[in-house]
Amino acid sequence: MTKHSVAQSDYYYIRYSIAPPTQDGLTIRKVLAEAITQSFGMSAEGIYIDILWIKPSGEECAVRLNHGDAMTLLSASASFTGSVKFCVKHSSSSLIALGNLTTPLVGTQEEQID
C-alpha cells in the first residue's frame, strides 16, 4: 500500500469579513498591523501580510502570511478593539480551500485589485 501525503505549505490563508466595509488594501493591511501591535507589541509588528483579494463591496478579503505567523494574526484580529472589525470566515494552509466558499477568489477582471 502506497502512502501519499500533501506537502505542508509555507503560507497560511485567512478569509475575513470586514465591518465597516473597505476596498482599500493598504487600509486593511494597516489595521491588521495595528491589531498585531495592540496584542503583541512592537516585537511582532514585522509580520508581513499579503492582501490577495478584496470583495468588490469591501465586505470580505483574503490574506496570506507565513504559516508560523498565522496564530498571531488570528489572535490579534479576534481581540482588536479598533474601528474596523475582522471576523474569520475561513482559514487554511491551502488557498484552494478559501475559494470553495460562496464568493470565488478569482473573479472577473473588474473585481480584481492591482
User: What residues does 12 pair with on adjacent strands?
Assistant: 65
Q: Confirm whether 3 is domain-assigned.
A: no
pLDDT at 112: 39
Q: Would 5 be classed as within a structural domain?
A: no
* Domain-located, residue 22: yes
C-alpha cell at 1: 500500500
Question: Is residue 9 predicted with pLDDT exceeding 70?
Answer: yes
Average pLDDT of the residues in 41-54: 88
pLDDT at 114 over 80: no
pLDDT value of residue 3 = 66
pLDDT at 46: 84
Structural domain includes residue 72: yes
> Is 114 among the domain residues?
no
Helix, strand, coil share of the chain (percent; to 5): 30, 25, 40
Instruction: Tell whether 6 is covered by a domain.
Output: no
The answer as to whether 104 is a domain residue is: no
Task: Give the residues across from 51 on adjacent strands.
Answer: 63
* Residue 66, domain extent: 15-97
Band of residue 4 on the pLDDT scale cut at 50, 70, 90: low
Bridge partners (DSSP) of residue 61 are 16, 54
Task: Report pTM.
Answer: 0.80
What confidence tens digit (pLDDT) does each residue in 49-103 have? 999 999 989 999 999 999 999 999 999 999 999 999 999 999 999 888 887 444 5
Number of domains in the chain: 1
The average confidence (pLDDT) of the chain is 84
Q: Is the residue at 65 inside a domain?
A: yes
Model pLDDT, residue 100: 47
